[in-house]
Amino acid sequence: MESHNELGLERKDTKELAVKLNELLANYHVYYQNLRAFHWNIKGGNFFALHAKFEELYTAAFETIDEIAERILTLRHVPLHSFSDFLATSTVQERKNLSSDVDTVGATVENIGQIIQLEREVMALAAEHDDEGTQSLISDNLNTLEKTLWMLNAFQARS
């Protein structure tokens, strides 16, 4: 059996990348669900701004989830696809019963920080294995998350 797949990547490397991408996928799913809950349950003086912001963030997360899963498939592996697997794999914890601006934004900042760290790990692994497709996918998303984190931290500074 040939050691490289049709993408020109080592099969053993794509397996390692798929494991790390599945970890990212699981974290994104829990992050996404947290954002949906925050969108639904936000209360207080910042309701209108945060209700819209959380919707924007969960819509972007949904798109990223699809891109990560499709990258795993492109590497010829199977993306995680059950909630039990997502919860068992994710380091982002599900957040329940949060409705204040301070709590929901704080939890979102924490979640994004965890995802950024994981994306840096995926980027390093992809670079190590010369997987430019994964690097490109993660790099674009990392830039977006870093900007979102900056904005949420600015919001927290005024609260």
What are the pLDDT digits (tens) for 114-145?
999 999 999 999 999 999 999 999 999 999 99
User: Cα separation of 132 and 16, whole Å?
Assistant: 15
Half-sphere CA count of 146, side-chain side, radius 13 A: 10
The pLDDT confidence band at residue 158, using thresholds 50, 70 and 90, is low
The predicted model scores a pTM of 0.95
Q: Please report, for residues 1, 108, 148, the alpha-carbon distance to residue 37 in angstroms, rounded to integers and kept in the order given.
A: 47, 11, 18
User: Taking all residues of the chain, what is their mean pLDDT, rounded to a whole number?
Assistant: 95
- pLDDT tens-digit map of 15-74: 999 999 999 999 999 999 999 999 999 999 999 999 999 999 999 999 999 999 999 999
CB 46 within 8 A of CB 158: no
Distance, in Å, from the CA atom of 29 to the CA atom of 24, rounded to the nearest integer, reads: 9
Instruction: Kindly state the DSSP code that residue 153 receives in the 8-state scheme.
Output: H
Q: Measure the CA–CA gap between 31 and 117, rounded to whole angstroms.
A: 14
